[in-house]
Chains A and B, each alone.
Chain A
Amino acid sequence: MKMRVAAIWFLVAVVVFVYAGGFMARESLYHTRDALTDQLSLADVQVLFTPASPDEMPDLTELEKEAAIVKRLDMPGGMELKDGKPLACLVIYLDPQGHPGVNDLRIIEGSFLSPEDENGVVIEKSLADIHGYRIGDTISLNMLFPMDLTVRGIAVTPECLVTPANPRIPVPSKGSLGIIFASMRQVEKTFGYPLYNDLAFKLHDPGKLKSFQAGLTKRLPGLDIQQIMPKETQFGYHFLTRDLEQFNIVISPVVFIFVLIAGIVIVLTFSRLIVNQKKQIGIAMALGYTHRAILASYLLLAVILGLGGALLGALVSFEVNIIYATIYGRIVGLPEVLFTVTWRHIFSGAALGMVLALAAASVPLKRLWRLSPQVVIREESETVMHGLLKPLRPLEIAVTRLAGPSLAIRIGLRNIFRRPRLVLATVLLIALAISQSTAFLVILSSFEHQVDSTSSQERWDAIVGFRNPLEIKDARAVAEGSGLKNYELALAGFARLSYDGGYTDLRVIGLPLNMPYRAINLKEGRLFRRLDEKGILYNNSLSQQKFKVGDKVTIETDQGSFALRVVGLIEEFTTGQIYMPLTTAEEVLGLKGKRTGFLTTFQQDPHLMEKRFFKNELVEHVTLKTDIMKTSREIIANIRIILNISLAISILISLMLLFASVTVNILDRKLEYATLQSLGLPGRTLIKSISIELACEIVLALGLSIPISIGLASYFNYAMSEAWPTITTYLRLKDFLLVMIPAVIILPLAAVPGIRTLLTMNIAECLRSRAFG
């Protein structure tokens, strides 16, 4: 009884700490985003415009009454990494007099810019973390002209709370864009005066943002405004929010799996507890206690266990919160995680645990109410199923006959057939414990397999991007100049997709009708029929804005607004891009007769080819197929980390469940084993019969765990398909064996304490305690 009570208490705690801890981790991550962007004064709105000198800038006095304003110059460029590879970068020129009041920098190493040090720069921390830059290192920039700058500081910026990625390359991997903060003195030195193309506003009264933003164009006369960016569309904030949404999407089914398993086990365990106390219940009924009074006593037990479990779970939930949030935060690139406690999740989790405990208590009691006290007292818990035992008899006889003369085997097998309820409960408990962990492994494998197989479907070996769009003949010359015969010229650019309620900036890729190198995974609709068709292919998964086939969209570029229609929905792991027919893309991007790169296949070593491509000055970036795999893995790294943490928790829970269920199962029948020992059953026969019984239960449980694992994994993948490309459940023998083999080793060990108790117990005392079992 004590062990069962402890198991229920522990399981209620599991429900609470997984529920509360998981969802508190989500809140902590969102809180971190909000707190850091607040602390570092992320701009509420940013205005990007064609560079203007101080004379060309409008008077900002009135605007300064409503918002803190910082003027900057943002310049795209390139730099050479320590290994010689090029890296796209964005250089942000700031007033070096002091920290900016908007989009501030938190210096984590070194110092801020200095007016006396024109060539000193501050780098965003991913240049240090991923590319190894340190204080004092030299950065070779390629801007309007080459220049060498010295790293004076490493900083965290609210614009890059996630590791920045270069949106211009086909598969933007983390760290593929360097962010550098330089002194405006350099610009002044070059042009004689500062230049600005970026105004960052932080409102004194955030409540007035909408009206403020709406009136900005009028209040900034003379500026050639390219873009007005509210905070939500700012690169770092947008992608961080997307990463947090991924956490939100994943954590819900993870919590559900834990709660489901724990819930079933609570019901089973409480059921066994009450079944084992049938005689007491029957006697209480015979003495005149009402059903209500008896029910109340068990419900009280459920409440106490629920409260106790809730308390333990609440305490552990803080740790679970820290684990999930810290590890996930590190993966997405947050500089730190600021934890928060959401009491509503703790109370909801506690309430859920208590409801499970109460429901678990009610289920077996409901059956007993229909019986008279005498039947309840007399009825043996296992042999109530006489009707069920009859059909099993021929099978039992056949199997027992196969077992031969061994008494131990006959006893063990007989117990399997004669205790269907107990065996079923034990098998189910073990199966649930195993399948909980296996499911997470299957989910991980499914994700990895899907990403790998999707990536491997691409038929190119490299995608080469030019610094600037080239005429078709020049583009061909670049490709053929590298010795290539097989290539397809490519066209890509950027556009804004507008819809009711907002817009998204996306990469536009022009598609030919014949695509020897690309693999488009069409989910719904069709591909393009003509090169000038006014249609797009859109990826709903991983996109905030969802469309249906046939929906009209507006694409805006500096060429104007274009009305297009969604002709097909696709699935891919790359986000932020749409496809158009090639001729339409030329028109939309204003690149008629031009190309921005090419796709190619080759037999040579990819890294040698990469070096060859870079020898041509017109080449800006090269994406190898192996990079795709790496980047795709990065995309699922977020999910993998949540699953790995969940797997670790599930293994711990599984171990405890396995030990508890096997030990309790053995000790439940202490009286029976005492009787057998009083008849002269030797210890070795006892051990052997228990081992046989356990072996049968293990085999049955392993078999049952397979469909349960597959079911749980399929549910998870289905739940993820709301916001991810469809993940097909992928089964690997290795995933099952990784859990089953340790379980097969651990389970017999789990029987050792129980067997030791049976062999050393005082038979006389045990037999004396017959009255209440």
Chain B
Amino acid sequence: MRLTPRDAFSRDQGDTPVISVRGVHKSYHIGEVLTPVLNGVDLEIARGDFVVIFGVSGSGKTTLLNLIGAIDTVDQGSVRLDGLELAGASRSTMIDARRFKIGYVFQFYNLIPTLTAIENVEMALELLELEQSEIKGRSTRYLERVGMLDLAHKYPDQLSGGEQQRVAIARALAKEPAVVLADEPTGNLDEHTASSVVGLMQELNRATGITFVIASHNRELANVATRVFHITDGRLTL
């Protein structure tokens, strides 16, 4: 069943967790070997939470985020995102979930190199079938919010790493999704810039009430997170 924009922007306002992960298993083929990455992960995240998931490289943080973000599919278990079951969902449902319910911030920013900062934000909004005036308004607003309005017409290769990550955050937030998933958002930044990006995400979480789920090594995030999880050997612990 396809989501309509109306469905997309409706939020379950009750106590229902915005993210619910139950008994999730996921394995990958690395060469000829089938390697289990997640071994029965359970997780519930409430609306408005600022959640950080720690784990060493290869522990499965990114995999978990990809499953929640409808970028990948589970082998076993359930993943519910804002009331929408992703496990076993059709391709079109997954696309709609990515479009309307999720904002993704990548470690390497993944801005479209041939679009300016503002155009990168607008690109995400164009997928929501909004009016042009709304698109322009939101992109300006969120770029301003991340402190990048002055550099709105720069291309990604004309921006520093921190600036690119701010644009990526604006792109994720402008959609006003149910959840922003950030995979190592400060992994490529120096300490000072990383700190400012962390502060920005925290401030936005408080201001907008959008749930943030962040996979990271950055211990500073533990100080600002509302909940902290550790992932070890494919299992999640508090």
* A contact residues vs B (CB 8 Å cutoff): 378-380, 382-384, 386, 407, 410, 414-415, 418-419, 671-672, 675-683, 762-764, 767-768, 770-771
Contacts and interface: CB of A to CB of B under 8 A. Distances in A.
Contact of B155 (A380, A415, A682): A380
A763 B104 contact: no
Given A414-B115, A418-B115, A679-B124, 13 more contacts: A382-B113, A407-B127, A418-B114, A672-B113, A676-B112, A676-B123, A678-B110, A681-B127, A683-B95, A763-B71, A767-B106, A767-B110, A770-B108
B100 interface: yes
B114 A679 contact: no
B156 to A, nearest CB: 7
A672 B108 contact: no
B104 A383 contact: no
Nearest to B177: A680
Interface in B66-106: 66, 69, 71-72, 91-92, 95-100, 102, 104, 106
Interface of B: 62-63, 66, 69, 71-72, 91-92, 95-100, 102, 104, 106-108, 110, 112-115, 123-124, 126-127, 155-158, 171
A678 B114 contact: no
B124 A768 contact: no
A757 B158 CA distance: 31
B71 A679 contact: no
Nearest to A384: B157
Contact of B99 (A384, A680, A767, A771): A680
Contacts of B92: 682
B157 A378 contact: yes
Nearest to A671: B110
Nearest to A770: B108
12 contacts: A380-B157, A383-B157, A384-B157, A386-B158, A415-B114, A675-B106, A676-B112, A679-B123, A680-B95, A682-B92, A767-B110, A770-B110
Given A419-B114, A768-B62, A678 B69 contact: yes
Nearest to B111: A675
A418 B102 CA distance: 28
Contacts of B124: 679-680
Contacts of A675: 106, 110, 112
Contacts of A677: 95, 98
Contacts of A771: 108
Nearest to B160: A378
A511 B229 CA distance: 107
Contacts of B72: 762-764
Contacts of A764: 62-63, 66, 71-72
Contacts of B104: 678-679
B193 to A, nearest CB: 15
Contacts of B126: 407, 410
A678 B98 contact: yes
Majority-rule SS of B interface residues: helix
| A384, A677, A764, A770 — most chain B CB neighbours (10 Å) | A764
A335 B69 CA distance: 74
A762 B113 CA distance: 21
Which A-B residue pairs are the 3 nearest by beta carbons? A680-B99, A418-B114, A680-B98
Nearest to A771: B108
Contact of B91 (A382, A383, A671, A683): A683
A764 B71 CA distance: 6
A386 B98 contact: no
| B92, B106, B113, B158 — most chain A CB neighbours (10 Å) | B113
Contacts of A378: 157
B71 A672 contact: no
Nearest to A417: B114
B159 to A, nearest CB: 10
A769 to B, nearest CB: 10
A414 B127 contact: no
Given A379-B157, A380-B157, A418-B115, A679 B98 contact: yes
Nearest to A674: B110
A473 B35 CA distance: 108
A680 B100 contact: yes
A665 to B, nearest CB: 14
B114 A382 contact: yes
Contacts of A410: 126
Contacts of B127: 407, 679-681
A415 B113 CA distance: 11
B168 to A, nearest CB: 10
Contacts of A676: 112, 123
A407 to B, nearest CB: 5
Contacts of B114: 380, 382-383, 414-415, 418-419
Nearest to A759: B91
Contacts of A767: 71, 106, 110
B156 A380 contact: yes
A418 B116 CA distance: 10
A770 B98 CA distance: 20
A418 to B, nearest CB: 4
Contacts of A383: 113-114, 155-157
A378 B156 CA distance: 9
B139 to A, nearest CB: 14
Contacts of B106: 675, 767, 770
A321 to B, nearest CB: 45
| A672, A679, A771 — most chain B CB neighbours (10 Å) | A679
A599 B162 CA distance: 91
Contacts of A379: 157
B123 to A, nearest CB: 7
| A382, A414, A675, A683 — most chain B CB neighbours (10 Å) | A675
Given A383-B157, A407-B127, A683-B91, A672 B69 contact: no
| B62, B71, B114 — most chain A CB neighbours (10 Å) | B114
A679 B106 CA distance: 11
Nearest to A405: B132
Contacts of A770: 106-108, 110
A415 B98 CA distance: 23
Contacts of A762: 72
A676 B106 CA distance: 13
